[in-house]
Amino acid sequence: MSDVAVHQPEHSVVEQTSTGIPSKKILLWSFLASDCMLFGCLVANHVVYRASPPPGTIDPRTVFDIELTSVSTFVLLMSSLMMALSVSAIEKNNLKSFRRCVLTTCFFGLIFLSFQVYEFQYFVYQDGLTLQSSIFGSTFFVLTGTHGIHVAIGVIWLMSLFFYSFTGRLTHKEAIDVETAGLYWHFVDIVWIVVFTVVYLLEYV
């Protein structure tokens, strides 16, 4: 099978359902809805705590490196662009472009995770901030750590699609598989925008 896009690709095979929406999308949207509630609770917990912090609470501005986190945020947002290009490429049956774009997406995701690991290590070893050290440490690490796990899952998912594309069974007819992975990845990026705004930026307002 050629890796080059055909000039007039066939349309993707769309599953016929009673709702008109593919079952894989419905399943993913259901999962994302439950994930919204999870992150909503974690964000609300952090906001409530920051609204009335107990005496002696550490000032986050003394430990945050807003420039570093801004760079990692930009990298993650750029990964969403590459993910969109990956979906477009597979819909055109251009496997070469798909592999290039999805690998770049994974690379950006790994860079983001590297930034997060570095930040966590800095907080722990330089500032003594841990899950047990304070309520701020607990809410911060649980919220950002949960998001980091979601990014890691997304990277594994996309890498599996990359390797699957070499089997000859991932074509434009199975573009829904890449599209659902893309929806998950965009959701993770949107969640981080909320987390970055609430946890980091609001501290400087």
Q: Do the Cβ atoms of 186 and 83 come closer than 8 Å? A: yes
Q: In angstroms, how far apart are the furthest CA atoms of the chain?
A: 67
Residue 18 confidence class, pLDDT cut points 50, 70, 90: low
Average pLDDT for residues 151-164, to the nearest whole number? Answer: 97
Average pLDDT for residues 13-27, to the nearest whole number? Answer: 70
d(CA 200, CA 205): 10
pLDDT digits (tens, 9 = 90+) for 92-144: 999 999 999 999 999 999 999 999 999 999 998 887 888 888 888 899 999 99
Which residue is associated with the tokens 């946890």? 199
Structural domains in the chain, CATH included, are: 75-204 (1.20.120.80)
Q: Which two tokens stand for residue 88?
A: 């477009």
- Residues in the chain, overall count: 205
For helices 95-127 and 135-164, the axis angle rounded to 10 degrees is 160
pLDDT digits (tens, 9 = 90+) for 40-72: 999 999 999 888 888 777 888 888 999 999 999
Q: Using CA atoms of 104, 107, 108, 113 in order, give the dihedral in degrees to the nearest 10.
A: 160
3-state secondary structure of 169: coil
Between residues 20 and 35, the one the model is more confident about: 35
Hey, what amino acid is at 45? N
**What's the half-sphere exposure (Cβ side, CA atoms, 13 Å) at 29?**
6
pLDDT of residue 140: 93
pLDDT of residue 40: 96
Closest CA to 91 of 11, 187, 154: 11
Q: Is the dihedral of CA 167, 169, 175, 181 positive or negative?
A: negative
For helices 66-91 and 95-127, the axis angle rounded to 10 degrees is 160
Count of Cβ atoms closer than 10 Å to residue 180 Cβ: 19
Residue 148 confidence class, pLDDT cut points 50, 70, 90: very high
